[in-house]
């Protein structure tokens, strides 16, 4: 009789999404620290008496034990590390931004079980910032999207020309070219965003929050539009949650950041 090696494995991860399966089961999609994206069946979690149903909601940071299945793995045990859901869900702008973070992480990891530690850390950081209201939700989302694109190898050029690397700054911005472009490389139909907007994108990408938070609403809207266009270009299909993101001011006051 053959024995299956490594039938059980353990990892921590963020629950990206859940789908109903059968009478009381769920398929949970988890972005794990060491195994990348894992889709696994959580049996009986929709029953009110389930031992770990509440731990496997989206936005939960959990320590999981999986049992290797034939098609999908099976969640064997779940322990909470931190549930960001309760803090995020109180505030609609935060919740919609958070779901866009989770959907992006799901879409950027097309291959299951391919480790993506940097993306995992980015998702944890974004959810923590949203839960603790350390920065406006819209800016956290755009910063996450820019950095996630950067991790995926699609970092936009925001100073030098995206095509010939001519030192900038340049006035024109081309989504297909991947950022700012010099007059010589500029394709037809390039946008001419406000230079302050491009500076805001740069601040979000490099994590200069003071500079980003000092920006005006019009620049933030323009920056969000450019980020969404860049992401859609690379993913080839828009995110379902991105048009539903509520970019209004958060109704819940900012909290003091808790120690990590």
* Residues lying near other proteins in the complex (CB under 8 A): 17, 22-23, 48-49, 51-55, 57-59, 80, 83, 85-86, 89-92, 95-96, 99-100, 102-103, 240-241, 243-245, 251
| Residues ≥6 apart with Cβ < 8 Å to 51 | none
Smallest distance from other proteins to CB 57, Å: 5
For other proteins, the closer of residues 103 and 155 by Cβ is 103
For other proteins, the closer of residues 80 and 218 by Cβ is 80
Smallest distance from other proteins to CB 255, Å: 16
Q: Which of 8, 112, 95 is nearest to 57 (CA)?
A: 95
**Under DSSP, is residue 81 helix (H, G, I), strand (E, B) or coil?**
strand
Smallest distance from other proteins to CB 16, Å: 8
**Under DSSP, is residue 187 helix (H, G, I), strand (E, B) or coil?**
coil
For other proteins, the closer of residues 53 and 179 by Cβ is 53
Give the H or E element holding residue 13.
strand 8-21
Distance CA 215, CA 224 (A): 12
Smallest distance from other proteins to CB 105, Å: 11
For other proteins, the closer of residues 90 and 132 by Cβ is 90
Phi-psi region of 185 (alpha: psi -120 to 50; beta: other; left: phi over 0): alpha
Smallest distance from other proteins to CB 247, Å: 13
For other proteins, the closer of residues 47 and 118 by Cβ is 47
Distance CA 63, CA 81 (A): 6
Distance CA 96, CA 245 (A): 5
For other proteins, the closer of residues 188 and 258 by Cβ is 258
Residue 88, burial from CB neighbour count under 10 angstroms (0-12, 13-18, 19+): buried
Kindly state the DSSP code that residue 57 receives in the 8-state scheme.
Answer: S
Smallest distance from other proteins to CB 224, Å: 15
């Amino acid at each position: 009789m053959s024995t299956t090696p490594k039938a059980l494995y353990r990892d921590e991860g963020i629950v990206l999404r859940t789908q109903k399966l059968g009478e009381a089961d769920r398929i949970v999609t988890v972005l794990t620290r060491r195994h990348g994206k894992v889709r696994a069946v959580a049996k009986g979690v929709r029953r009110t008496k389930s031992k770990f149903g509440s731990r496997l909601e989206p936005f939960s940071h959990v320590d999981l034990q999986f049992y290797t299945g034939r098609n999908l793995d099976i969640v064997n045990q779940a322990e909470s590390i931190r549930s960001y859901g309760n803090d995020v869900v109180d505030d609609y702008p935060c919740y919609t931004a958070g779901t866009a973070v989770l959907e992006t992480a799901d879409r950027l990891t097309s291959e299951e079980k391919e480790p993506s530690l940097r993306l995992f850390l980015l998702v944890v950081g974004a959810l923590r910032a949203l839960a603790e209201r350390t920065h406006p939700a819209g800016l956290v989302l755009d910063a996450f999207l820019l950095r996630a694109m950067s991790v995926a190898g699609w970092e936009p050029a925001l100073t030098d020309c995206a095509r010939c690397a001519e030192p900038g700054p340049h006035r024109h911005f081309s989504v297909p070219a991947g950022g700012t472009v010099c007059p010589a490389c500029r394709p037809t139909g390039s946008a001419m965003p406000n230079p302050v907007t491009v500076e805001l994108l740069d601040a979000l990408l490099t994590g200069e929050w003071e500079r980003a938070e000092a920006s005006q609403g019009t620049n933030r809207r323009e920056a969000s539009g450019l980020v969404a266009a860049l992401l859609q270009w690379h993913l080839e299909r828009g995110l379902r949650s991105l048009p539903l993101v509520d970019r209004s001011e958060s109704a819940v006051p900012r909290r003091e950041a808790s120690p990590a």
